[in-house]
Amino acid sequence: MMSTPSEPRTLSEIGEFGLINRIASHLAMPPSVSVGPGDDAAVFLVNGSAVITVDLMIEGHDFRRDWSSPADVGHKAVASSVADIESMGATPTIMVIGLGAPASLEYVWVKEFMTGVREEADLAGVALVGGDLATAQQIAISVTVVGETAGRTPVLRSGARPGQVVAVRGRLGWASAGLAALARGFRSPRAAVDSQRAPKVPYGAGREAADAGASAMIDVSDGLLADLRHIADASGVGIDLEAARFQIAEPVAVVAAALHINPLSFVLTGGEDHAMAATFDPGRVPADWDVVGLVVEADAELGPLVLVDGHAWEGEQGWTHFR
């Protein structure tokens, strides 16, 4: 075996090309990728129809280094971008990452960030095929993910029809409850705080919904009410949720009780969990999705509204991003 050279301490010590070589040497490429990192661009095969999305995360606005480990940030960056491919009912395949960072950033931060990226990429079934590095005051991360429709019709926001049901799969309110705890100096309940640091995206749920004939779908990044409003707007419908249908997860209930907040506020307005929300014909909802409401006609005067038990939600708002 060759001896291991001593590790560089900062990005400026290792340099751009040294860092790229170290990152690229850890990556395995799937058969569909004929050229991976290291050339001007990567080359990959697509089955004809492709899906693409980009997500940008900025230190201090989308994550904090004192709240999240480097690996958490890597997990979150990949998960939040892949969720947009999942919510089209598509199969994520490859991604490229842009990383802006101070030259003084410790090399070990980037190394552990990349460990999180690789772990989440494995969970999501996506391959990192390329990237770019730049010098920046704050850490800035862009993740672009490409997916294949794999024969499915992409599920847009615009297909919801009155008479259909609204269903969700994945966590709701966990990340925002975790944020509320962190913001008050707590590091528990651990499950909620961990959800804020890195969401648990229900990978595969989007394809499952597409196969079941979902008519509209979105991933919950800004909060269920806000994101369902996008479906209502795009589809020209109203949505009426039924409060009693939502199960309050224990970590969410614990934070809500400690802060004297209605736990439904976290569930309905909390972002960053990247649960899937979709509309289906009644009786066609996949087994592991929860029906939480109905698609109705848009209000004759007010247009496409999202209501809870027939009324506008008047609880706490804004448990979304900490930006």
The yes or no reply on residue 137 touching a second copy (CB under 8 A) is: yes
Query: Under rule CB under 8 A, which residues in 47-86 are in contact with a second copy?
Result: 48-58, 60-62, 84-85
Distances (CA, A) of 302 to 61, 196, 235, 237, 306: 33, 34, 15, 11, 11
Contacting range for a second copy; rule: CB under 8 A; set: 119-127, 137-145, 235-243, 309-317: 137-145
How far apart are CB 322 and a second copy at their closest, in Å? Answer: 11
CB-wise, 205 or 254, nearer to a second copy? 205
Query: Under rule CB under 8 A, which residues in 179-218 are in contact with a second copy?
Result: 217-218
The yes or no reply on residue 45 touching a second copy (CB under 8 A) is: yes
Count of residues touching a second copy (by CB under 8 A): 61
Positive or negative, the Cα torsion across 82, 85, 87, 90?
negative
Distance CA(82)–CA(87), nearest Å, equals 9
Distance CA(22)–CA(26), nearest Å, equals 7
Distance CA(281)–CA(295), nearest Å, equals 10
Query: Under rule CB under 8 A, which residues in 88-117 are in contact with a second copy?
Result: 88, 90, 94, 96-100
The yes or no reply on residue 12 touching a second copy (CB under 8 A) is: no
Q: Please enumerate in sequence order all residues whose Cβ is within 8 A of that of 6, keeping only pairs 6 or more positions apart, or say none.
A: none
Distance CA(7)–CA(107), nearest Å, equals 8
x/- contact string, 140-179, with a second copy (CB under 8 A)? x-x-x-xx-x----x-xxx---------------------
The yes or no reply on residue 136 touching a second copy (CB under 8 A) is: yes
| Neighbouring C-alpha atoms within 13 Å toward the C-beta of 138 | 13
Q: Is the peptide bond before 189 cis (omega within 30 degrees of 0)?
A: yes
Contacts with a second copy, residue ranges (CB under 8 A): 34-35, 38-46, 48-58, 60-62, 84-85, 87-88, 90, 94, 96-100, 129-138, 140, 142, 144, 146-147, 149, 154, 156-158, 217-219, 234, 323
